[in-house]
Structures are given as C-alpha cells and as structure tokens.
Amino acid sequence: MREGRKMRIGWRLRAYLRARLCLRGAGRSCAALGLGLFLGLGPAGTGAAAWAATAEGELPVWTALAEEETLAGTASALQVQILQYADLEGRIKEQNPQVQMERISYESRIAAYEMARDDLEETRKHLRREASDREEEGDADGAAHYRSQAEALKQAVEDMDKQIRRASGSSQTLGLSRLEDTMLWTAQNLMGTYNTLKLDRMAAEAEADLAWSQYEQAQNQAALGAASSRAAQEAKAAAQAKANRAASLRKEMERTKAELLLLAGFSAEDSVEIGGMPVPDASRMDAMDWEADRRKALGNNYELREQRGGSFSGTNKQLHARQREISQSEETMYAGFAALYQDVLTSRSLQEAAAKGQVSGEAAWRTVSHQWELGMLSRQEYLEARHAYLQRAAEKGKADIRFQLAMDAYEWARQGLMR
C-alpha cells in the first residue's frame, strides 16, 4: 500500500513539473503527452489538471488536483476495487441493505409458518397415536376424543399449508422483486449521473484553466498599461467563478458516489472507485418490438399486478368503478411506455450526431497537438482548443450515457418497472 502511494505521488510530481514547463513555454514537446496529461489520465486514471490560485497578488500556477480518480491501471497497485456497471445487479441483490432486510423478513415469515406447521403436524401424529392406544385399551370414548382433536389439527395443518403457499406465492414475492429491481435501476441511474458529472467537471476544469490563463494575460497587459487593473480583476473573478463551478461538480460527484456505494452495500472503509458506463449497443434498440413489448409491459407491470391481484368485496357499482380504475391505469402505462420508446429514438439520434461531432473534434485536436509541438500556437490558443475539444468530448460522452439509460428504462418498463 505504501509503495503504491509512493508511485502515485511520484506520478503527480512528474505531471506537475512537466505541465508547468509546458505552460510556461519551456517545452512545446509536452503536447506529446496528448490529451492524457490534460485529462489527468496519468498511468491509467481520469482526473484533470487545473489552475489553483496562490497567495494574494501572485499568479496562479498549473497544478495537479490533489484528488484524482483511480482507475484500472493504479487500482491494482493501490488495492482499490472498481465498481463496474455489470457488477451492479449482483451487488444489489446480495449486498444492498434494504434488499437484505426485506429478504430476511420474507424468509423469516416463511420459516415461522413452516415451523408452526411442523409443530401442528407433530401434535396431530401424537394425538393419533394416543387415539390408537386408547382404542387398544378399550377406551372408545377416549379414542374418539383424541381422534376428533387430530382431525381438527389436520384442518389446521392444511390451512397452514395454504398460508405458506400464499406467503411463497407471487403476491408476496412481488414486493421483494420490485424492491430489487427498483434498487438496481436506481444504482444504474446513479452511475450514469456520476459519469455525467465527471464529464462536466473535466470540461469545467478545462474552462477554468483557460480563464486563469486569460487572467494572467490581462494582468500582464495591465502591468504594461495596455489594459486596466479593473479588467484584470474582472478576469480573475471570472476565473475563480469557473474554478468554483468545477469544484462544485467534484463535490456533487463525491455525494453521488457515496450514495451509489451505499446502495451497492459498501462500507465507508472500503476503497472503491466508480467505473465508466458501458458503450451503448444500438442493436438493443433495433431488436425492440413496440407492440409485443408493450403487451409484455402490461402483463408485467408491478402496479397493475397489485391492482388486479388484490381481493375485492363490494357492490356491482364498486366493482365497475374498480375496473375503470384498472383500465385507466393501463392507459397511463401505455402512454408512459410510448414516451420511453420515443426517448430511446431521440437519444439515439442525439448520440449519432454527437459521435459525428466527436470525429471532427478528434481530427481538430490532432491538428492542434501537432501545431503545439511545432511551436505554432500560443499557450492561450492551445488552451482554447483544449477547452473546445473537452466540451465536445463531454457532449459525446453524455449522449452515450443518455442513450444507454434510455434503453435501460425501456427494458425495465418491459419487465414491469416504470416511474
């Protein structure tokens, strides 16, 4: 663990020194680091470098953020577990506190019924033996008495068997299944939120970096009399505001991460990082059959199953009112399912458009990197290009996440869970 920490600190120091040289114009070749350094990728992580204000009156300097996300490359060295999207289902079903409590409660109810049934059956057998003994002794009245008690317990055992079947049936397991599904869907959305915030934070940090550079430029111009000191102070305030926004996004990331890890059953002492979202598989959308899927959704919908399955006793008028309520709920479900399908279509269109934009963005970034290596760009121009590239990359990443979650929401609705 100590060796891993040394490696991490060593990388930070190298990144810091190289970045400072790069931005102070001492080494144009630093562009060879590619986007990796400026995304804060390090050995294999994602974090970002950002400007940090120093003491009052001093210029801000380029530093590595103190807290970087640890991903696959450094995770093994630091003994950090990566929570991947594919891991969520197993973690929720096996480790989620609420699911575990509900399962224990459910299993305890079944165990209590079975224990009571076994006790009744044992007593019934004992009474039948007593009846046989009395009969052998010639005590017909005593035998009849014990036999009647045994018959009464037979009915009680049968009733208890019915209770066990009901407790084990769909109406009882429905609550547990619905809770599991709800917790898993919530975890999937939290992971999507975390990665969305991460993309926004990286773009925001790039914007803050650019703003600090603009402040430095304004301060230099003010020193030369080419700009007012007020303009420099305004540039500083703008840069600080952008840095604050990036910091706010980081805090929101940490809050979302804590909530997700709690859902997944991790403790505060566990060293866990959040993995990325899967690349959306468009063939899932191509395989969707709207008519067939909505019929499945109608049959599987948890709320409708509860409405249909509930016992009813009342007048014909009340029965018709109940049927109308169920019919209205079905129409609402259909409308919601149609909206989910439309969201899948919209999300795919946005994702395809973002992917095209990213292709041109990658080409532009390669050109900028090459120009930077050749010394053809100023630091300001490089930071502007980097900010534009990261913004476009964030839009592509967020479009991927939206498409993935839209398909997930559709599939959840098909399986019976809608919000």
Q: For residues 184 and 113, which has the higher predicted lDDT (pLDDT)?
A: 184
Helix (H) or strand (E) holding 51: strand 49-52
What share of residues in the chain are helix, strand, coil (percent, to 5)?
Answer: 80, 5, 20
Helix (H) or strand (E) holding 295: helix 290-300
Distance, CA of 33 to CA of 369 (rounded, Å):
9
The pTM of the whole model exceeds 0.85: no
The rounded percent of the chain whose pLDDT value lies above 70 is: 74
Kindly report, residue by residue over 23-77, the tens digit of the pLDDT.
333 333 343 333 433 333 333 333 333 333 333 333 333 322 333 344 555 555 5
The rounded percent of the chain whose pLDDT value lies above 90 is: 46
Specify which of 24-33, 40-49, 153-162, 327-336 reaches the highest per-range mean pLDDT: 327-336
Q: What is the pLDDT of residue 287?
A: 95
Q: Six-digit token pair at 98?
A: 């609420």
Specify which of 38-42, 73-77, 93-97, 311-315 reaches the highest per-range mean pLDDT: 93-97
Helix (H) or strand (E) holding 82: strand 81-83
Q: What is the pLDDT of residue 412?
A: 95
Confidence of residue 311 (pLDDT cuts 50, 70, 90): low
Q: How many CB atoms lie within 10 A of CB 233?
A: 14
Distance, CA of 34 to CA of 139 (rounded, Å):
100
Asked if residue 415 has pLDDT above 80, the reply is yes
Contact 375, 28 (CB under 8 A): yes
- Show the DSSP H helices in 70-227 as ranges: 72-78, 88-95, 97-136, 140-168, 170-223
Kindly report, residue by residue over 346-395, the tens digit of the pLDDT.
999 999 999 998 888 889 999 999 999 999 999 999 999 999 999 999 99
Average confidence (pLDDT) over 306-326: 70
Q: What is the pLDDT of residue 27?
A: 36
Q: Is the dihedral of CA 55, 56, 62, 63 positive or negative?
A: positive
Q: For residues 238 and 138, which has the higher predicted lDDT (pLDDT)?
A: 238
Helix count and strand count (H, E) for the chain: 13, 4
Asked if residue 194 has pLDDT above 70, the reply is yes
Asked if residue 285 has pLDDT above 50, the reply is yes
Q: For residues 119 and 191, which has the higher predicted lDDT (pLDDT)?
A: 191
Q: What is the pLDDT of residue 301?
A: 86
Contact 193, 256 (CB under 8 A): yes
Average confidence (pLDDT) over 228-247: 94
**Chain mean position to CA 360:** 30
